[in-house]
Amino acid sequence: MAVDNPHTEVNGRPTVEARDPEGSGEEEAQDDSANQASASSSKKKKSNKKKKKSSSSSAANDHPTSSIDSSLTMPSGIEQHYFDPVKGKGLLATRDFAEGETVFTDSAFVSAPPMAQAKKVAGGELCNACFQPVDGAGVGRNTGCKGKDCQAVWCNRECESRGRTAHHNVLCKGNNPAIVPFVNFMSTHPFLSLHSVARLYARILLCHSPTPPESLIKPSRPATVEETLGHTSAFASISELVRRKRNPGWEVEKQAFELTFKEALKLLKEGMDPYDEARIARGEQGGIRGKGKWTVNPDFPRDVAQQLFGWEGFMRSLGRANLNMESQGSLYCIHSHLNHSCAPNLSTQHPPSQRGIRQATKLKLMANKPIKAGEELLITYQDPSQSVTRRNLLLWREHIFGPCECPRCEKEMGELDEEERERLKRFEMTSEDKEEVKLRRKQAETLQKEGEKRAAGEKDLRGLEEELRETLGF
């Protein structure tokens, strides 16, 4: 499988999260013209293919693991294929495709609003399900959530039903008041991966509810917890801590990262864990009660809750989101199988809706050259205009694989001089990285100091902290 990676490499910044806020800023706003949906495969951020069989071996902990999702119905013309334990899974063409032909389309399994749009989604300008502007959806068609303090709106009843059953019934401040601190935390900590994890968790919980989301396997039937966990575990995953270790500057960021994400997990548990102590004390019996009715039925599988809301499970969920999120922030079951090449044969678009607006939650994969039956389908996880050394460094750091063995890399590596080739093998820091480390060290120190002052009861420095966080990227 491909570990997609979320980060378009923009300016050589090492962390993925660093690009959450920025990365989405650089994506065109959804209300931009449809033609922006351009094909650039470079937008994609998928990653690699290393997956080993899910196992608990220690080697597996350092490499992404993934598996074939045999429950999925594949579009005609493509099939899943397991290569080997190192390369893992991928997609093959089962017939010829002409250049320009659509090879398949995919809809988001879990969507999260591009960070540039998150405030507008929360504030009721954009649909909470498809992230398109609601005001063009047609007079009288919009619907809005009536929950207290909730400004969610949808294009129409269909978007509302899809959004509520997939995530909103749990993430609604009105329906689930315990989620308010977490939702507020997300609005001040714009991490795309955190949004993605929250929506995935909500989806899993809602499968055990009176209002489950629709099954991907049998449309119009309710999805089960088991089915949803099956799709989830097929995605390449790795602990976010393992990913981050590869970033220059991690040792200076580590402490602040852990503080921030421990707080996030605490709030997430309080808002969502059916077995959170406070919930059990309120008599919620392993479920989540909203407005007198069950939002998540009692007796949600306890082992699943423990897994999701434990630190390790949470880190793995964040790592999975970061490896697999497409550039606009969603996770796709089929698209996530695609492996990387620096000279890919597919390009990716967000196709326009009937209103002519690019859809952040849909993908169209097109052949950018003639493809023969039996060929592997490939996209690029990194901006292909970068140098071979830069591409390989980022693939190694963000997608946890490499060196890339595509024909283009083979050729370009052959043209490097000895010293450059050696460096490529060792993935040494570039001078740019060293600058970055200095900057981060300084910022982390300031952040740390301010945190200590605040703990000592000094004035609220949240504004400064946020500013720093934004620069720091987490």
Which member of 37, 103, 155, 234 binds Zn ion (CB under 5 A)? Answer: 155
Minimum CB separation of residue 463 from Zn ion in Å reads 28
Minimum CB separation of residue 121 from Zn ion in Å reads 10
| β pairing state of 88-93 and 376-379 | antiparallel
Binding mask 7-46 for Zn ion (x = CB under 5 A): ----------------------------------------
Minimum CB separation of residue 30 from Zn ion in Å reads 11
Which member of 152, 200, 296, 304 binds Zn ion (CB under 5 A)? Answer: 152
CB-based contact 466:191 (threshold 8 Å): no
Beginning with the edge strand found earlier in the chain, give each strand of the sheet holding 102-107 in spatial order.
102-107, 362-367, 346-349
Minimum CB separation of residue 405 from Zn ion in Å reads 7
The dihedral over CA atoms of 284, 286, 287, 290, expressed in degrees to the nearest 10, equals 20
Residue 94 CA neighbour count, 13 Å, CB half: 9
Collect all residues with Cβ–Cβ distance below 8 Å to 80 and sequence separation of at least 6: 68, 69, 70, 72, 74, 89, 90, 91, 92, 337
Binding mask 115-144 for Zn ion (x = CB under 5 A): ------------x-xx--------------
For residues 459 and 86, what is the distance between their CA atoms, to the nearest angstrom? Answer: 52
Tokens of 89: 């899974």
The CB density around residue 279, as the number of other CB atoms within 10 Å, is 21
Give the count of residues interacting with Zn ion (CB under 5 A).
Answer: 14
Tokens of 110: 């879990």
Asked if 6 interacts with Zn ion (CB under 5 A), we say: no
Q: Which is nearer to Zn ion, 133 or 190 (CB)?
A: 133
For residues 157 and 143, what is the distance between their CA atoms, to the nearest angstrom? Answer: 7
Minimum CB separation of residue 458 from Zn ion in Å reads 36
Binding mask 380-419 for Zn ion (x = CB under 5 A): ------------------------x-x--x----------
The residue range among 77-85, 108-116, 168-176, 413-421 that interacts with Zn ion, by the rule CB under 5 A, is 168-176
Q: Could you list the residues that contact Zn ion (CB under 5 A)?
A: 127, 129-130, 145, 147, 150, 152, 155, 159, 172, 342, 404, 406, 409
